[in-house]
Amino acid sequence: MNTIKTPKQLSALMNELSNQIQKVIIGKETAVKMLITSLISGGHVLIEDVPGTGKTTLAMALSKATSLTCRRVQFTPDVMASDITGFTMYNKSSEKFEYRKGLIMTNIFIADEINRTSPKTQSSLLEAMEEKKVTVDGVAHNLPEPFMVIATENEFGYVGTFPLPEAQLDRFLLKLSLGYPELKDEMMILHTRKIADPLDNVTPVCSAEDIMACIKAVKDIHIDPAIYKYIVEIVSATRSHPFISLGASPRASLALMRAAQSCAFMDGRDYITPEDVAQMTTYVLPHRIHLTQEARVKHITVENVVSEIMKAIKPPFSGNAE
């Protein structure tokens, strides 16, 4: 039976988790922190980048360092929705229909190249990501706790892909991009992989119970009313910007709030600051926003627009607002 840990101890545990993952993912401290931030927010992550940058390895390292159950599915056009959610089968001996668990029944579900499967299979994740359950033949089945979807997709190579619909993109708390490593980091990658896989050296540092305790502690992080207003002003600004055709929804406001709380928790604080909010907008908002045709013609990016919004909105006083 696990000893009850204080928020400070849990925060330190998450930093140790980060250290374990960085044994495998070298030079990407921010990306690792964002992945853990999403985990303790109870959210999901979409990782988009070129092939070979470590997207799947990052997810596997998280799984191994947390002792959570993990299933990886290579999404292809022939993967069926029932493979993911499960199905009911008639049992002759009991003369009853019984539920056969799908691949989604795990703590960490890695959806490799999620945009290479059919829209029907993609949609099988919607209920799981939002409500942490799946409904098969009218019967709801709860998913294990904690539950997290880590989806990957390649930035290039659109042949044979099915773009993710807005409803699914909106369910990802964060979107990350690892990018190419720097010269010294890539040299270190070669060195660490010369003889063995560094995943073999990852040691589990926390349990499912620890992660659930972190999720609860994150929700208790203090938020000043001025911070609530700041978050809503940022998200609302995406709905009226002239270069945005589809702005962020209230779910984005919730995501930004929870991600900022997790950011504060990772830093060992019991309150969030405007800086926490500003830092998380880079990861929470861009994948939820669609630009107008005019913006595309002018080569204006979503990041440009989000940056402009952040400069236009004055942050409230930064400090302990208790």
Hey, where are the domains in the chain? 7-210, 221-312
Class assignment of domain 221-312? mainly alpha
Cross-strand bridge partners of residue 222: 271
The predicted model scores a pTM of: 0.91
SS in 3 state form for the chain?
A: CCCCCCHHHHHHHHHHHHHHHCCCCCCCHHHHHHHHHHHHHCCCEEEEECCCCCHHHHHHHHHHHHCCCEEEEECCCCCCHHHHHEEEEEECCCCEEEEEECCCCCCEEEEECHHHCCHHHHHCCHHHHHHCEEEECCEEEECCCCCEEEEEEECCCCCCCCCCCHHHHCCCCEEECCCCCCHHHHHHHHHHCCCCCHHHHCCCCCCHHHHHHHHHHHHCCECCHHHHHHHHHHHHHCCCCCCEEECCCHHHHHHHHHHHHHHHHHCCCCECCHHHHHHHHHHHCHHHCEECHHHHHCCCCHHHHHHHHHHHCCCCCCCCCC
User: For residue 321, what pLDDT is reported?
Assistant: 42
At residue 156, the pLDDT reads 64
Residues lower than pLDDT 70 in the chain: 1-2, 156-159, 318-322
Neighbouring-strand partners of residue 174: 45
CA distances from 68 to 23, 62, 76, 210, 221 (A): 18, 9, 25, 11, 25
Calpha distance 185→104 (Å, rounded): 34
pLDDT (tens digit per residue) in 69-99: 999 999 988 999 999 999 999 888 888 888 8
Amino acid sitting at position 42: G
**How confident is the model at residue 267, as a pLDDT?**
93
Residue-level pLDDT at 95: 80
Dist. CA 231–CA 253, nearest whole Å: 6
- CATH pick for 7-210 out of 3.20.20.70, 3.40.190.10, 3.40.50.300, 3.40.50.2020: 3.40.50.300
Q: Residue 152: which residues within 8 A CB-CB, separation 6 or more? A: 46, 47, 48, 49, 55, 56, 59, 110, 111, 112, 113, 114
Rounded CA separation 82/137 (Å): 11
Q: What is the pLDDT of residues 283-301, one digit of tens each?
A: 999 999 999 999 999 999 9
CA 206/CA 76 separation, integer angstroms? 33
99 neighbors 139 (Cβ within 8 angstroms): yes
